[in-house]
Chains A and B, each alone.
Chain A
């Protein structure tokens, strides 16, 4: 039990839950024995953490540096613990923690617009007007729902313009957004005591009933009631503690970095321990049309400690074997440096780091042309291939077809797993 600054009445969360949901949902919930961290081996389910680099980081200033070339810019490269792998020297901490992770330097997309690129990269399908594809996290939540969870099973942390969506699988699978992770997630406590809260919910029921008359189907579709029910369940859940990082040692918090992204990565680790299987942590600010190099320096100071500490902690807690970590943005940047010392959008040939969860580690796939003349990288990897790989590793049949609302059968992914990673 932890304290609430706004409310001091001694009511346990469980009690309040019973009152709040009026028995409609809470009785269906099993006990709280689902701390993922306590499970081992095949018993433990796999999870995915996506570190989303909003804006599109430059491959040349991250995982595919070409120092000393015309396209390389002022950056240098450093060796990592992975044999043969060099990354930008802006990532000294990460370089020490990459064992077991792989790098793909030849991701190819066909979307050079932020919104379209993000949608493609978060779903594995190129956006089209008639179908909203579900994001990876929504597919996981849909295909392998965790019934014991009282907090959302698909979570997006940090501000983002295009959070992961449930798409045609349904809005209830949209990522639960936590704009400022590690701080107050807010509004989790009823404003009045138990008997009045009960009266309020009873009143709400009376008013809602009148509205439903003649609109049963329509109101069901709004998810209004189920949203309220889920909110009430969440309000009374012990699992909420996963969002709170005050009790983490100061050194751990410092290691992640006191940024929304650093805190988000720490919360992500706590959520994985709690049993949440699909988490995205957003870091914006990679859209470097001007001053590309200095922009990447700023960003690396946020990303390097957070990413490195996340990997360290997952390894220490024996969680990396069950957690896929993917660090990617919507596209890369042009080999050519523009007159403003910036790089523009470049969907053909960019990098990502992926590993954990049973994927093969220490693999380096493809590279971009060091002269920048050739548009195509060697061993190009399509976005859908990356998702097919991840889904297969999660033991989700990526070829499974679902029927979209307009009656079209759609596979979870139309890619082919990357052999080098499985």
Chain B
């Protein structure tokens, strides 16, 4: 290396370090938390418990009708693990497990849910899930699209519990620059090659918020649904006057929405028009404001049903109706009794489109608390029970959940906004690397994919698995090895930290035997490392159950 280059690098190095530190600190302090959040008390809210009862009744009747015996209730620690994975994207820490165990009262899971929902980790985790549903995972055109800002904005809204309908209206009708008014990234995400793809906006709006796929009507009448190409074009015309330019996302009343006729190749102007519930379309406002009002109109039941289905999907890992964005048209409630999505949707609408409340209802309902194990060995019966929600489904964890859980398991203390910078920085960077290598499921994440060979290889042999699973004075492998506790307690702690459960007697015997062969600290560390390796690679670790 020539001396001049070296000098140049040396001169720049401090600046680089300062920049890194400044940005890390800025990032770390972006959403500070109080040191201890007091455990909130659940107000005995009658309407909420009433809806839970209604949901339970619906399932109990269906199970009876279809001669299904639901699985037993899962134990509390299993339910606690499900809650943490669903709401924070990680398993609970040992610290949290101890805190939960110290709580008393029959409603401690309900109270624990409220605590998790208030934790900043919930808003951060859910904002990523919503971002995927709304704009996918593509990084888009970086000049006009800032995914990070969009996600941070969503996190703020979720933390502030902005009503969901209001949030959606902001997305559809927002104006301004993508950095200052991050909601407008919803629009700019559809910019491709300098062009605003209005068709894409229509497709994603209807899929994300109304749970309908009309994308194929873009080119032709839908083959088996009632969507016509004219419906698609009419809806797209609502985005006809939006412009993405230097000043951001703007309304331009002079724009006309034209499409090219596929047969004659001539242009024709399309007037904005909705495919149903014309009476819900307001007269006043810009085209996008009118579209936003129509999508979120209280009489537009597709909106509340789609929302309920998506939240259900995020909590169970499987939507109630699969795929999440292809729901049947709502039935006439005067003719038929409401189904699950109608019950949840109505409660959602009547209570200010409160996401946290909807979550509380779903996780308090019977299906969420059921065990995933059963005495029945008949594959067909199991399939039937799972599809009727009489058995908790085994669902593969998302890459973020896997990495979140591996990191959490490597620390005895909770990793959150209060953790030290090193820990949080490690989480931030490991997550990006790991998710990329593990294979991102993209916006398709609610579909059911089994694991792959490259993933197994990454968990078994990857660099991260090695770093995380090797004993050090700072991680749980090292700490558990050095604690002055009985071997039985040591095995139990490993299991609680990784799998959020206590070991079975067979497991206990097997691992105690290994520890008994250890005569010094080094050997104990190796045994703990090998135990952790097995726990990390077990199906139990990487599947929600």
In the bound complex, what is the Cα–Cα distance between A347 and B216 (angstroms)? 13
User: Is A250's CB within 8 Å of the partner chain B?
Assistant: no
User: Is B310's CB within 8 Å of the partner chain A?
Assistant: no
User: Is B215's CB within 8 Å of the partner chain A?
Assistant: yes
In the bound complex, what is the Cα–Cα distance between A209 and B539 (angstroms)? 10
In the bound complex, what is the Cα–Cα distance between A184 and B535 (angstroms)? 27
User: Is B98's CB within 8 Å of the partner chain A?
Assistant: no
Contact with A along B363-380 (1 / 0, CB 8 A): 000000001111101110
Cross-chain pairs A/B with CB under 8 angstroms, 6 sampled: A110-B220, A203-B530, A228-B537, A231-B453, A342-B193, A347-B219
| Cβ < 8 Å to A, chain B residues 203-244 | 203, 213, 215-216, 218-220
Query: Closest residue to A288 on the B side, CB-wise?
Result: B193
User: Is B263's CB within 8 Å of the partner chain A?
Assistant: yes
| Complex contact A204–B538 (CB within 8 A) | yes
Chain B residues lying within 8 Å of A287, measured Cβ to Cβ, are 192-193
| Complex contact A223–B450 (CB within 8 A) | yes
User: Is A10's CB within 8 Å of the partner chain B?
Assistant: no
| Complex contact B193–A187 (CB within 8 A) | no
Contact with B along A55-78 (1 / 0, CB 8 A): 000000000000000000000000
Chain A residues lying within 8 Å of B510, measured Cβ to Cβ, are 203, 206
In the bound complex, what is the Cα–Cα distance between A388 and B301 (angstroms)? 44
Given known pairs A188-B457, A290-B193, the reply for A200 and B262 (CB within 8 Å) is no
| Complex contact A222–B533 (CB within 8 A) | no
In the bound complex, what is the Cα–Cα distance between A205 and B179 (angstroms)? 51
Chain B CB within 10 Å, residue with most, of A129, A207, A210: A207
| Complex contact B452–A228 (CB within 8 A) | no
In the bound complex, what is the Cα–Cα distance between A161 and B444 (angstroms)? 10
B451 to chain A minimum Cβ distance, whole angstroms, is 5
In the bound complex, what is the Cα–Cα distance between A186 and B466 (angstroms)? 14
Residue of B216, B265, B326, B462 touching A187 (CB-CB under 8 A): B462
User: Is B489's CB within 8 Å of the partner chain A?
Assistant: no
Given known pairs A200-B530, A211-B539, A211-B540, the reply for A206 and B507 (CB within 8 Å) is yes
| Complex contact B535–A207 (CB within 8 A) | yes
| Complex contact A116–B215 (CB within 8 A) | yes
User: Is B506's CB within 8 Å of the partner chain A?
Assistant: yes
| Complex contact B538–A222 (CB within 8 A) | no
| Complex contact A289–B453 (CB within 8 A) | no
In the bound complex, what is the Cα–Cα distance between A215 and B382 (angstroms)? 9
| Complex contact B538–A208 (CB within 8 A) | yes
User: Is A225's CB within 8 Å of the partner chain B?
Assistant: yes
Stretch of A25-33, A140-148, A189-197 contacting B (4+ beta carbons < 8 Å) = A189-197
| Complex contact B506–A210 (CB within 8 A) | yes
User: Is B531's CB within 8 Å of the partner chain A?
Assistant: yes
Query: Closest residue to A127 on the B side, CB-wise?
Result: B216
Query: Closest residue to A335 on the B side, CB-wise?
Result: B265
User: Is B461's CB within 8 Å of the partner chain A?
Assistant: yes
In the bound complex, what is the Cα–Cα distance between A83 and B120 (angstroms)? 68
Residue of A111, A172, A189 touching B461 (CB-CB under 8 A): A189
B466 to chain A minimum Cβ distance, whole angstroms, is 5
Contact with B along A331-355 (1 / 0, CB 8 A): 0000010001010000100000000
Given known pairs A189-B461, A207-B534, A340-B194, the reply for A219 and B394 (CB within 8 Å) is yes
Query: Closest residue to B538 on the A side, CB-wise?
Result: A207
User: Is B449's CB within 8 Å of the partner chain A?
Assistant: yes
Chain B residues lying within 8 Å of A372, measured Cβ to Cβ, are 265
Chain A residues lying within 8 Å of B457, measured Cβ to Cβ, are 186-188, 231, 234-235
| Complex contact B396–A375 (CB within 8 A) | no
User: Is B40's CB within 8 Å of the partner chain A?
Assistant: no
Chain B residues lying within 8 Å of A116, measured Cβ to Cβ, are 215-216
User: Is B504's CB within 8 Å of the partner chain A?
Assistant: yes
In the bound complex, what is the Cα–Cα distance between A214 and B533 (angstroms)? 24
Given contacts A225-B539, A227-B456, 9 further A-B contacts (CB under 8 A): A113-B203, A174-B452, A206-B507, A216-B377, A224-B543, A228-B456, A230-B456, A235-B461, A342-B195
| Complex contact B454–A196 (CB within 8 A) | no
Residue of A110, A152, A209, A215 touching B453 (CB-CB under 8 A): A152
User: Is B458's CB within 8 Å of the partner chain A?
Assistant: yes
| Cβ < 8 Å to A, chain B residues 433-455 | 437, 439, 442, 449-455
| Complex contact A340–B195 (CB within 8 A) | yes
In the bound complex, what is the Cα–Cα distance between A139 and B197 (angstroms)? 35
In the bound complex, what is the Cα–Cα distance between A111 and B215 (angstroms)? 10
Chain B residues lying within 8 Å of A235, measured Cβ to Cβ, are 457, 461
User: Is B490's CB within 8 Å of the partner chain A?
Assistant: no
| Complex contact A231–B456 (CB within 8 A) | yes
User: Is A419's CB within 8 Å of the partner chain B?
Assistant: no
Closest 10 CB pairs of A and B: A214-B373, A203-B534, A290-B193, A224-B539, A187-B457, A231-B456, A187-B461, A204-B534, A112-B219, A211-B540
| Complex contact A191–B461 (CB within 8 A) | yes
| Cβ < 8 Å to B, chain A residues 266-291 | 287-291
Given known pairs A111-B216, A224-B539, the reply for A176 and B452 (CB within 8 Å) is yes
| Complex contact B382–A218 (CB within 8 A) | yes
In the bound complex, what is the Cα–Cα distance between A116 and B452 (angstroms)? 23
User: Is B169's CB within 8 Å of the partner chain A?
Assistant: no
Contact with A along B388-409 (1 / 0, CB 8 A): 0000001010000000000000
User: Is A199's CB within 8 Å of the partner chain B?
Assistant: yes
Chain A residues lying within 8 Å of B456, measured Cβ to Cβ, are 227-228, 230-231
In the bound complex, what is the Cα–Cα distance between A228 and B450 (angstroms)? 12
User: Is B526's CB within 8 Å of the partner chain A?
Assistant: yes
| Complex contact A217–B382 (CB within 8 A) | yes
Contact with A along B447-490 (1 / 0, CB 8 A): 00111111111101110011000000000000000000000000
| Complex contact B462–A208 (CB within 8 A) | no
B236 to chain A minimum Cβ distance, whole angstroms, is 14
A216 to chain B minimum Cβ distance, whole angstroms, is 6
User: Is B545's CB within 8 Å of the partner chain A?
Assistant: yes
Query: Closest residue to A214 on the B side, CB-wise?
Result: B373
Chain A residues lying within 8 Å of B374, measured Cβ to Cβ, are 214-215
Chain A CB within 10 Å, residue with most, of B203, B465, B510, B535: B510
| Complex contact B396–A222 (CB within 8 A) | yes
Chain A residues lying within 8 Å of B373, measured Cβ to Cβ, are 213-215
| Complex contact A289–B219 (CB within 8 A) | no
Contact with B along A315-326 (1 / 0, CB 8 A): 000000000000
| Complex contact B265–A336 (CB within 8 A) | yes
Chain A residues lying within 8 Å of B437, measured Cβ to Cβ, are 186
In the bound complex, what is the Cα–Cα distance between A336 and B545 (angstroms)? 53
User: Is A221's CB within 8 Å of the partner chain B?
Assistant: yes
User: Is B542's CB within 8 Å of the partner chain A?
Assistant: yes
Given known pairs A177-B454, A190-B460, A372-B265, the reply for A340 and B193 (CB within 8 Å) is yes
B377 to chain A minimum Cβ distance, whole angstroms, is 6
B145 to chain A minimum Cβ distance, whole angstroms, is 16
User: Is A408's CB within 8 Å of the partner chain B?
Assistant: no
| Complex contact B531–A203 (CB within 8 A) | yes
A382 to chain B minimum Cβ distance, whole angstroms, is 15
Chain A residues lying within 8 Å of B140, measured Cβ to Cβ, are none
| Complex contact B530–A208 (CB within 8 A) | no
User: Is A411's CB within 8 Å of the partner chain B?
Assistant: no
User: Is B319's CB within 8 Å of the partner chain A?
Assistant: no
| Complex contact B194–A290 (CB within 8 A) | yes
Chain B residues lying within 8 Å of A225, measured Cβ to Cβ, are 539
User: Is B323's CB within 8 Å of the partner chain A?
Assistant: yes
Chain B residues lying within 8 Å of A213, measured Cβ to Cβ, are 373
Chain B CB within 10 Å, residue with most, of A191, A209, A218, A235: A218
| Complex contact B453–A176 (CB within 8 A) | yes
Query: Closest residue to A176 on the B side, CB-wise?
Result: B453
Given known pairs A187-B461, A190-B460, A222-B450, the reply for A196 and B526 (CB within 8 Å) is yes
User: Is A402's CB within 8 Å of the partner chain B?
Assistant: no
User: Is A247's CB within 8 Å of the partner chain B?
Assistant: no
Chain B residues lying within 8 Å of A214, measured Cβ to Cβ, are 371, 373-375
A204 to chain B minimum Cβ distance, whole angstroms, is 4
Given known pairs A171-B449, A230-B453, the reply for A217 and B216 (CB within 8 Å) is no
Query: Closest residue to A234 on the B side, CB-wise?
Result: B453
| Cβ < 8 Å to A, chain B residues 152-180 | none
Chain A residues lying within 8 Å of B534, measured Cβ to Cβ, are 200, 203-204, 206-207
